Amino acid sequence: MKEVADLTGNSGSGGEAALVVVISDALGETAELVAQAAASQFPGHPIEVRRYPHVTTEGEFLQVMQGLQRMPCSVVFTIILPELRASIVRHCEAAGLPYADVMGPVLDGLQAALSAAPSRTPGLVHQLDARYFRRVEAVEFAVRYDDGKDPAGILRADVVLLGVSRTSKTPTSMYLAHRQIKVANVPIVPEADLPDELYQITPRKIIGLTINPENLLQIRTERLRSLGLGAGSRYADLGRILEELEHADRVYKRLGCTVIDVSQRAVEETANYILEILGRS
């Protein structure tokens, strides 16, 4: 049985460890996101989230729990079949384990509101939702064509993001990818030529990202500090930053593209503005 483990909130402060067991009859992504979101509310406490997907029988559930019988834990589950849901609740209550049924109450509420029975088919959202597959494809596209790895992606992208280092090109690309937008992003460096492909697409598909120099200085300084590097690098030199931003501004004017100032914008705001520009909001 496949197991996916992730450690959240481990700051090394010596808080008591906790284990959250995520069980699903499909992939378990929804339950894991809920568990991770809850775990983030306990900074300083090491919380391990283990995901067990494709659990479709009581025997499989008991097999999971048998391996954890000596470990204190809580159980979060998204299970479609009512018999298996009831079995999990029964075993958790008998063992004194805290549990959360993520899917059951919503299913029951919809059934009552619609006066209709659900199909009880595990993983149906992924089987039937074409958006899911487009999202996966877009995420894979964003990873493949991140940071100018392959300029061929520029010709295939729905939108191309340009910007100097640390202007949130990659996180914005990933956010847009989760909205089924294929994004390529290209770094702008004064010493490097732009890919020829940028001049082969319409400027309407190109977005230039800019930022306040002082904000960028702070971001880059923090980045160097997180890497254990000193602040003496040109990467975090205000003069160099001004040079890069001025060069980027000239590039944007030459391309005739839309420019977005990300200084006071969260990634979500930038991405949603781009969606408006593309007519995808």
Other C-beta atoms lying within 10 Å of the C-beta of residue 110:
11
Mean pLDDT score across all residues of the chain = 88
Whole-prediction pTM: 0.58
- pLDDT, one tens digit per residue, over 112-147 is 999 998 887 776 666 556 777 888 899 999 999 999
Q: Domain 4-127: which topology? A: Rossmann fold (3.40.50)
- List pLDDT tens digits, range 199-238: 999 999 999 999 999 999 999 999 898 888 876 789 999 9
Query: Token pair of 275, please?
Result: 């969606």
| Residue 33 tokens, joined | 């996101």
* Parallel, antiparallel or unpaired: strands 258-261 and 206-210: parallel
3-state DSSP call for residue 189?
A: coil
Mean pLDDT, residues 163-175 taken together = 97
DSSP state of 15: P
Packed helices 58-66 and 82-95: angle between N→C axes, nearest 10 degrees: 30
**Edge-to-edge order in the sheet of strand 47-52:** 4-8, 47-52, 18-24, 74-78, 99-101
4 has pLDDT over 60 = no
> What is the spatial distance between Cα 4 and Cα 163, in angstroms, rounded to a whole number?
35
Distances from the Cα of 109 to the Cαs of 77, 105, 115, 163, 215, in angstroms? 17, 6, 10, 47, 47
**130-278 belongs to which CATH class?**
alpha beta
What pLDDT is stored for residue 18 in this prediction?
Answer: 87
Q: How far apart are CA 83 and CA 54, in angstroms?
A: 16
Residue intervals in the chain for CATH 3.40.50:
4-127, 130-278
| Mean pLDDT within 247-263 | 98
